[in-house]
Structure 1
């Protein structure tokens, strides 16, 4: 399920009394380990507030959630992204974690429901989107959310069957070594059938859009190829970007797709 579905579900979480711990923690390289101090101090302040309130039920619940958060950070302290968002509660056994590639403002909340506004703002900037990188003999479809590539699905042209072959991972577009005459024949057959291949693949992308709960599509590639693929899509893309980024880094692709 995509983030949009997660947010919809999280909006429905609410208790009569305070029961939900929301953690927004900046863990980027510029923190130089200070995130651990911010985590301890933030959780300590909530604990002290609950002790002063005398609400033993909340104290007990908070201590359980605090331990789950600290255990989560302990397991992943060496492979953290730039920020971490956690929603934890005994209500419905809630424990949702999001490792993000964008900075968030560090904050800790103990409320009757999850504090979602910062995550919703980030999701509005980087909605769940299918990003299609078009090339002549391969197409890569990226499943993105919150400005991060969650999965890559590549479709390469098989000259033997003249069909697209799907596999997970990043397509390199490399072909087996062959004579120049074989390559020329391959390129000619591919060019002659490109519209048909793109038409079939566009239908697959439309199915993926529903399966991955994408809010939109972005097509990136050299002008002729990107425009050809756009024309085969039933869903109008949010953007069509005329750049060849098939060998570019993840941050560069995300930057081009969303800005």
Structure 2
């Protein structure tokens, strides 16, 4: 489910006392000057204890028991995921379940709520700043797709052109064959030069054969933004051939860069 659909689901939630909805945005960023000593643990403890103390003082035992169920589930979540924390954690939970939880690589402002509704203001803002996007990286006979949402990787895959059949073949990103790019012998370099000349002659036709698939992926995966990254002539060729609107072309060779660097590049625009 996309974050856009998740937000709509969360906005429809409503519970009445003694059941309410717990919403937490917690800054866990180790690079934050205010988090150098792992202060998020103190913020988490204080945030949970504040509600528990208030409900105990208020004398609503049924609501207190419901909150304590949520508190235990939240503490268990951090015990299980403490070593995997990034910059922030978002949890929205009822006494019966975690409706939404995520460990994010983008910052949030620490907030805690125990109310009849889920507080989604920060999620809405994060979605606006880090929408679901498709990054199409191209470099001659290879096209790599990096899908991202809320600043993290959703999926990545590579398509390579089979020169014998002139078909684009799908590979996992980790299994991409780098032999052509890393060849050093005189014969291999000469073959590479011949291929580049052939590619330039046939680039439009070969790109035209893959753009319908790229358009379909963009539609099926509900990309809200599309970025093309690669040599200027290649990205603009793809842009002209695709039906889906392109939000930005980035003239950089990043086909083999780590996905974190690719995602950071588009968000730094």
TM over 0.5: yes
- Structure 2: how far apart are the matches of 1:200 and 1:22? 47
Which residue of structure 2 lines up, in the alignment, with residue 25 of structure 1? 26
- Structure 2: how far apart are the matches of 1:200 and 1:216? 22
* Preserved contact between residue 151 and residue 169 of structure 1 (Cα < 8 Å): no
Structure 1 residues 200 and 10, CA, compared in 2 at 3 Å: closer, same or farther? farther
Name the stretch that deviates more: 205-214 or 244-253: 244-253
Which residue of structure 2 lines up, in the alignment, with residue 80 of structure 1? 85
Identify which of 126, 131, 153 aligns with 1:127: 131
Which residue of structure 1 lines up, in the alignment, with residue 161 of structure 2? 157
- Structure 2: how far apart are the matches of 1:136 and 1:233? 17
RMSD over aligned CA atoms reads 2.1
* Preserved contact between residue 218 and residue 244 of structure 2 (Cα < 8 Å): no
* Preserved contact between residue 47 and residue 62 of structure 1 (Cα < 8 Å): yes
Name the stretch that deviates more: 184-193 or 77-86: 184-193
Structure 2 alignment gaps of length 5 or more: none
- Structure 1 residue 142 and structure 2 residue 143: aligned? no
CA deviation profile, 1:105-140 (whole Å, cap 9, x unmatched): 111111111111011111101111111111111111
CA deviation profile, 1:6-35 (whole Å, cap 9, x unmatched): 111111111133511111111111323221
Which residue of structure 1 lines up, in the alignment, with residue 205 of structure 2? 196
- Structure 1 residue 8 and structure 2 residue 13: aligned? no
Structure 1 alignment gaps of length 5 or more: none
- Structure 2: how far apart are the matches of 1:73 and 1:95? 16
Give the number of aligned pairs.
258
TM-score (normalised: structure 2): 0.87
Residue 29 of structure 1 aligns to a residue whose secondary structure is: coil
